[in-house]
């Protein structure tokens, strides 16, 4: 059992408690190993850095990824469009391409991310986002913004 304790506003960092009661801080980018922390540090992340308390029990790490997908889709919570957020979303967008029900969500989310100047200024990140959108299929909005509109 994995208890998701808290998630950063961008989804790039989160805290879990395993079945043995060990609390860990995870970063979705950079290949860093989870760091063992205390409940106090989780509380500070919530108070000082705007982490959202989750309190969700999950069985597998795949379910943890699904929970992130679900949180990203929630329309009532604004996405914090930073380069770190965009990088964290790359594997999510790639997974969405494999599912017909999720595929139509790729282009709107990519366009939303590319509205942020800091993301557009990161040439490699912008290139990867546009490529994901192109793989999702034609879009009038993508074509109008300079893409070919072909996959």
80-102 pLDDT, tens digit each: 678 877 887 888 888 888 888 78
CB contact at 8 A, 33 and 22: no
Q: In what order do the strands lie in the sheet with 52-58?
A: 35-37, 23-27, 13-17, 2-7, 52-58
What residue has token string 């790039």? 12
Return the exposure string of 116-134: e unless at least 16 CB atoms fall within 10 Å of the residue's CB, then b: beebeeeeebbebbbebbb
Is pLDDT above 80 for 139? Answer: no
pTM score, two decimals?
0.51
29-79 pLDDT, tens digit each: 656 688 899 999 999 888 877 788 888 899 988 888 788 777 666 645 555
- Six token digits for residue 11: 């989804």
- Six token digits for residue 93: 């967008």
76: which residues sit within 8 A by CB, 6+ positions away? none
Q: How far is the CA of 27 from the CAs of 18, 97, 105, 135, 149, in angstroms? A: 16, 23, 24, 27, 34
- Specify the DSSP element, H or E, that contains 97: helix 83-97
Is pLDDT above 70 for 111? Answer: yes
């Amino acid at each position: 059992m994995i208890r998701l304790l808290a998630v950063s506003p961008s989804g790039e960092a989160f805290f879990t408690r395993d079945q043995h009661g060990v609390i860990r801080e995870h970063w979705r980018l950079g290949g860093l190993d989870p760091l063992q922390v205390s409940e106090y540090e989780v509380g500070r992340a919530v108070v000082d850095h705007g982490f959202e308390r989750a309190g969700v029990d999950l069985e597998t790490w795949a379910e943890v990824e699904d929970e992130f997908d679900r949180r990203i889709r929630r329309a009532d919570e604004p996405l914090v469009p930073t380069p770190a957020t965009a990088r964290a979303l790359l594997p999510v967008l790639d997974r969405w391409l494999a599912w017909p029900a999720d595929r139509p969500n790729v282009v709107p989310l990519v366009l939303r991310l590319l509205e942020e100047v800091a993301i557009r200024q990161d040439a490699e990140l912008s290139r990867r986002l546009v490529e994901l959108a192109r793989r999702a299929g034609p879009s009038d909005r993508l074509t109008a913004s300079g893409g070919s509109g072909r996959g």
